[in-house]
Amino acid sequence: MKSSKTNIRSLNLTQLEEWFIQSGDKKFRANQVYDWLWKKGVQSIEAMSNLSKETRNKLSESFEFPALQLNKTQLSADGTMKIRFITNDQHFIEGVIIPADDRITACVSSQIGCSLTCAFCATGKMKRERNLYFYEIFDQVAMLNRIAEKQYGRGLTNIVFMGMGEPLLNYSQVTEAIEKITSPDSLGMSPRRITVSTAGIAKMIRKLGDDQVRYRLALSLHAANDEKRSKIMPINDENNLESLITALNYFFQKTKSRISLEYILFKNVNDSMEDAKQLVRLARRIPCRVNIIEYNPVEGTGFEKASEENTQRFANALEQSGITVTIRHSRGKDIDAACGQLANKD
């Protein structure tokens, strides 16, 4: 049954102040509550320990506080952590913490499941249940930050929207979550350390440009010709490469932010020298860098990762043509936490 109470996180500071005044309480209490909600990122009204029991009870009578809860934690041999959360309506989502010498990156989800059916991806085999609300995305980041501080002795430095779901199909909630994550009144993270990754929805990429977002954009490309890309990513049928190139250039023109092209190498699918030439031709048309990603096997897809030798040869071909390229090695494969593997498996 749907609650008749208001979600406390739907109120801004002014609205909270008005509520406290109308309740006959002190206006400054609103600042304390707002601090608990967005700076400390608590998961319940009960956790707001500097408020009196009476104030907390009053808040609980008026407001609901749906929040993610921790469900399961797994630690990979390489130090990567996969965290499973459970939503208020009993759905599972997953996030990943990837530690490195110079950074701690959180990979977060934007939807419960996914509707895009990319052929190589475990999440794509799941049904999309619903979009995540902005506060659920925020909860992931706040909780992953606390876990990182405890596990690695330092908090998150970077966030990538590369978990479950397509962020640009949940545009308003993702952008609102990022506003909270980057606000000085909240977690205060730099937007330049946040990357939103999309399978490629041209009109929404243009909207990012129109909104002049300050965070970074990555395109999951994986093939540089339409026929091949449509086979592995059906979304390409409606958002072909030409439309994406136009949209990405528009985004750059509006934001001056260089795009990352993500390219997973699949054995005997997109790893030939002809594929490399096609990628060079495409990459020269966009202000971008290319990240070559090692494929993480997903049962039942039929895809295999390209050999180390072929991966290096492919990267060299791009570099020799003047393309900035990085090879990204997989992390967390042993706990199904690597790119494309998030599927709520036990």
Q: Which H or E run includes 104?
A: strand 104-107
Give residue-wise pLDDT tens across range 243-273: 999 999 999 999 999 999 999 999 999 999 9
CA 198/CA 219 separation, integer angstroms: 5
* CA proximity to 143, closest of 194, 196, 79, 67: 67
CA 136/CA 129 separation, integer angstroms: 14
Domain with CATH 1.10.150.530 in the chain: 6-64
CA 23/CA 268 separation, integer angstroms: 67
Domain with CATH 3.20.20.70 in the chain: 69-335
230 and 236 Cβ atoms separated by less than 8 Å: yes
Class of domain 6-64: mainly alpha
Q: Which two tokens stand for residue 304?
A: 């295999």
115 and 128 Cβ atoms separated by less than 8 Å: yes
Q: Which two tokens stand for residue 69?
A: 């809860």
Give residue-wise pLDDT tens across range 11-41: 999 999 999 999 999 999 999 999 999 999 9
* β-sheet bridge partners, residue 294: 265
- Which residues are catalytically annotated? 94, 339
Indicate the pTM of the whole model. Answer: 0.93
Give residue-wise pLDDT tens across range 132-182: 999 999 999 999 999 999 999 999 999 999 999 999 999 999 999 999 999
Class of domain 69-335: alpha beta
